[in-house]
Amino acid sequence: MRRDFIPVEKIEAMASAAARCLDPELFEKGRQHYRKGRVEYARVFGPRIYAQVSDIIDGKKYIVQLHIDSFPLSTCTCARKHLCEHIAAVLIHHCGDGLQPDTVSPGFDVPALE
């Protein structure tokens, strides 16, 4: 997948917003989804990332809309609907596995884009 559609500044802003919005426990669940390859599809279309994430526990597939310019508006089709582990998994998919929920700031070091 090409990730070069999102400017570094927008990735930094999105990661910073996630640090303020996402519960650290949900963030870690999202990291596990990411590490287990559960982000099955992710594409950037305009100001959003559309993705499909398969849940670790029940195997259901959920659709995520991650808002690049306004992270708190991101949605998921799971029961939680907003700011869930599936959204975190898609965020990590784009920002890199080194992202930490409590240490992200607007000037964090973004991994090289592929």
Whole-structure pTM over 0.95, yes or no? no
Nearest-CA neighbor of 30 among 74, 68, 84, 81? 84
Residue 114 has pLDDT above 90, yes or no: no
| 3-state DSSP assignment of residue 99 | coil
Give the three-state DSSP class for 71.
Answer: helix
User: Per-residue pLDDT tens for 69-80?
Assistant: 999 999 999 998
- pLDDT value of position 104: 39
> Does 113 have pLDDT greater than 60?
no
Residue 100 has pLDDT above 80, yes or no: no
The residues with which 61 forms a beta bridge, in sequence order, are: 54
Find the mean pLDDT for residues 68-95. Answer: 92
- pLDDT band, residue 94 (cuts 50/70/90): confident
Q: What is the pLDDT of residue 103?
A: 40
Q: Give the span between the Cα atoms of 60 and 48, in whole angstroms.
A: 22
